[in-house]
Amino acid sequence: MGYTLDALIGSVGALHAAASQWPAAVPVPLAHDLALLPMTDELFDAVTDGTTERVLGFWKLPGGFDRELSSWSSVGPVGYVEADFFGGVGSQRAALWVAGELVFGPLFVGEGEPFAPQGSPISQLLARLGVERHRYCDEFEAVGLGRHRETADWLP
């Protein structure tokens, strides 16, 4: 069974303000006063500047969109995450912007590489957003990122 996620994660205020600019942007509430904005193909096409260069090593971060994330982070922290797993093997990437600056990442863990003691790249980003791990679950599970297996499934 596979798992893919290409999304923005951040403060509810920052992602709702961002979503008001783009009809294809649909924020979804998460635990801990956070929201997730799935990077669907429609949103990707709406926000890209047309360049095909990979931004910060991400597969689905649209050209020039890192500047937009920097701007949005003046309202509240905004992160971008990617995860792609099948049968327990895969990769994760994460980066976080706060107050207009890239403050975390991009952090990448590839196939066959172990996660750091602090956790996966996405869990580390969530920890920087104030999410705490619990006795039996990490930050990823604490906000409910295991609810859906595909990015598009997050949409209402």
Supply the pLDDT for residue 38.
93
Low-confidence ranges of the chain (pLDDT < 50): none
Task: Write out the two tokens for 23.
Answer: 């009809």
Give the residues across from 126 on adjacent strands.
Answer: none
Contact by Cβ (8 Å): 128, 96: yes
Supply the pLDDT for residue 95.
96
Supply the pLDDT for residue 3.
78
The domain of 61 spans 2-154
**Phi/psi at 102 (nearest 5 deg)?**
-75, 115
Domain total for the chain? 1
